[in-house]
Amino acid sequence: MTMASDAHPRTPFPSPPRADASVTPRLLAIDIDGTLTNSAKQITPFTRDEIARVVATGAQLVIVTARAIAASMIIERKLGVPASHIAFGGGTIRVREGERLVVLEEHPFERQDVARMLEAAAGADVHVGLYTAAEWHVSDMGFWGLREARNTSIWPNTIGDGTPPAIPADPVFKVMFRGDADALAPIKAAIDRELPGAFAHFSARVLEVTASRKHTALTSLTAHLGIDLHEVIAFGDTEADVPMLDAAGIGVLMGNADSTLTVAPHVERTLSNDEEGVGLSLRKHFPTDAPFEI
């Protein structure tokens, strides 16, 4: 894994020029969990229809997620509109070109880095998941495995007996630990200390570790598409999304986000993921005379 200096979660990211009020965004960058999907892990009809309406006007869509690329593609199918993908928290960037998805960049972990993460979790009472581009390997299919399968609509390729899964032959793009916060905190501390270029995102009882960041991936994608960052409207709800929201011309923080998150002054706050926050913000920034029905 090549660790970029800007992959650390607290590295400042320069803000682009703010979008002029008359500029209509050309790219929608939308996080999935806690943003696009509601608490029931569903996309509401109003938000889905608003995304389809905006894409029909010519704007492009990129789904930006820590989920696996297969799970991100399921969301694209549910939306029913073409999308590019930033998956594994920036570990893979895939550009939609008609019926094809073209790989733009990939940033997996080095095998020895995965081994060091598993060593950090040795003996801890945590669920372990390893993600390659095409497969998901888990330590067991208990509570945490079932929850992740339910959330993502993906079933594991291999299921262990409770011990951490063997490191697969194919490159690993994400390592996920689930369990109580007291068990996860030392693992995060060890990863931050030993692999400072990795991004270990700790939220509630989930620790996701990726080799890249969403905002750096978005920068690469927009450069490829010939779109300036100030022409992007980006939606998110966690620390992992903040640099992306800060970098976009229009950053939108969901109402369900942690109130302690610090964002750039230009970032807007919208309603929660259970209150059509994405759909309503799209209606605000892409006005229409179409009936307003929720």
**What is the chain's length?**
294
What are 264-282's pLDDT values in tens digits? Answer: 999 999 999 999 999 999 9
Q: What is the pLDDT of residue 21?
A: 54
- C-alpha distance from residue 275 to each of 2, 31, 82, 130, 280 (Å): 40, 16, 25, 33, 9
Residues of the chain with pLDDT under 70: 1-22
Tokens in use for 236?
A: 């998110």
The pLDDT score that the predictor gives to residue 141 is 97
For residue 22, the model assigns a pLDDT of 60
Domain boundaries, the chain: 25-106+213-285, 111-210
Q: Could you give the strand order of the β-sheet that contains 250-253, starting from the edge strand earlier in sequence?
A: 100-106, 92-97, 84-87, 60-64, 27-31, 232-236, 250-253, 268-269
Contacts (Cβ under 8 Å, ≥6 apart) of 192: 200
* pLDDT on residue 258: 95
How much is the pLDDT for 203?
87
pTM of the model: 0.91
The answer regarding whether domain 111-210 maps to CATH 3.40.640.10 reads: no
With respect to CATH, is domain 25-106+213-285 assigned 3.40.50.1000?
Answer: yes
Rounded Cα distance between 63 and 83, Å, is 7
CA distance 36 to 24: 21
Give me the pLDDT at residue 204, please: 84
